[in-house]
Amino acid sequence: MSRFSINEFIKNTEQIDKGEGFFELETPRILEVNLEQMVWAKAGSMIAYNGKIKFEREGLLEHGIGTMFKKAFTGEGTSLMKATGQGKLYLADKGKKIIILHLQNEAIYVNGNDLLAFEPSIQHDIKLMRKIAGMMAGGLFNVRCEGTGLVAITSHYEPLTLRVSPGKPIITDPNATIAWSGNLTPEFQTDISFKTFLGRGSGESIQMRFEGDGFVIVQPFEEVYMQVQTT
């Protein structure tokens, strides 16, 4: 019965330094940040830490008046916190799988719900998807991350990356779309026939169409967003 002992459990689950640097996957669903100065993280994602770390919500005016208006419009969906100090910080988001990306003077758009953390060297800006603002609140914004550094994003289960090439557009469900390359700008379209088939408005009736040369990342899960009541 030793395999069920407390000592065996601790041995199998305890934190181990892997020496991977600033971001380290402690488990597929827990991100360790080896903090020396500062990191941006999704508000509410801290599950544990050691050392001396201070947490502060992103200020409304921190990135200018334009960002303040965007935040007022998008609400809490993409609220960020700034963690400063020294120590080990552990982040997670509803048990979702974590993917670490190293941007090298590149840009990527990430759905506001799926951005977990990024280095301070990465510039970020909230982008509104105005065309579906009246259809779904949770999925109408994304965050553009640009520069050189690490970005951690999340996915329900295993993600799939689809290549977008000229003449071969990719169409996705906004509720299942995690991220896409920074040079792509999705268009939104409504599948009237599918909407009629269902007999009511639904997530699938709204689609994102990606054209050009790049990639889009989707997850095998549809986030359920709050529906906006329009007048």
In tens, the pLDDT along 163-220 reads 999 999 999 998 899 999 999 999 988 776 655 555 554 445 788 999 999 999 999 9
* Contact status, residue 164 vs residue 185, Cβ threshold 8 Å: no
Q: Which residues of 98-128 are buried (b: 16+ CB within 10 A; e: fewer)?
A: bbbbebeeeebbbbbbbbbbbbeebebbbee
Q: What residue spans of 46-90 are helical by DSSP H?
A: 65-74
Q: Judge if pTM exceeds 0.75.
A: yes
- Rounded mean pLDDT of the chain? 83
Q: Of all helices (H) and strands (E), which one includes residue 7? A: helix 6-13
pLDDT the model gives residue 73? 44
Question: What are the backbone angles phi and psi of residue 67, rounded to the nearest 5°?
Answer: -65, -35
Answer yes or no: is pLDDT of 78 > 80: no
Query: By the 8 A CB rule, do 186 and 180 touch?
Result: yes
* Domain boundaries 21-218, CATH class: alpha beta
**Per-residue model confidence as pLDDT tens digits over 81-133:** 999 999 999 999 999 999 999 999 999 999 988 999 999 999 999 887 766 55
Element housing 13 (H / E):
helix 6-13
